[in-house]
Amino acid sequence: MKELNNNDKEYLLSTIRDIEDFPKPGITFKDITTLLKDKKAFGFLLDHLEERYKSYDLDFIAGIDSRGFIFGAPLADRLGVGFVPIRKQGKLPYTTISEKYSLEYGFDEVEVHIDAFSCEKSSPKVLLIDDLIATGGTAKAAATLVKQAGGDCVEACFIINLQFLKGDVELKKETTVYSVLEIL
């Protein structure tokens, strides 16, 4: 179950609600709260991710603020590895390193603790995870942070990839990308 078959993908897609014109007109928002409240679907998704990543010999899972936490923390627990939050600027209490990324109108920034990936290994293996990749700016900044903090980002995982926005294209220059579901 390294990748889902089409029936399994359709099942998971059927548990995700579309919200038209949110957060602004013309955008169809993929609402994962309906997947999360469905214990069978959420369990199935976590089972799949656990099966996919159990042979990766990971040291950490890094979840991107904030929905990456929802998937990253329970997966880290299942795999017996540490969980590291990558947060929006100003949300972490200790010394951080940060990375800026472009938005449609300006910039934003993500941060990680400077010692986030400290362990007995010189280059610990890190899985980066988030619920969705759209334009890819946040994900690319997060992957850069993993490297700057001493981790080896072995893969970036997304529950949903909005392929038509091509956010994974630049990220693939940094790391392997896996998407459970792809929206063309």
Cβ neighbourhood burial of 147 (10 Å; 0-12, 13-18, 19+)? middle
User: Six-digit token pair at 153?
Assistant: 């980002």
User: Six-digit token pair at 5?
Assistant: 């078959």
- Active-site positions read 67, 104
The beta strand positions in the chain, using DSSP E, are 17-20, 28-31, 60-64, 82-88, 96-103, 106-113, 125-133, 152-162, 177-183
> How many Å is the maximal CA-CA distance in the chain?
49
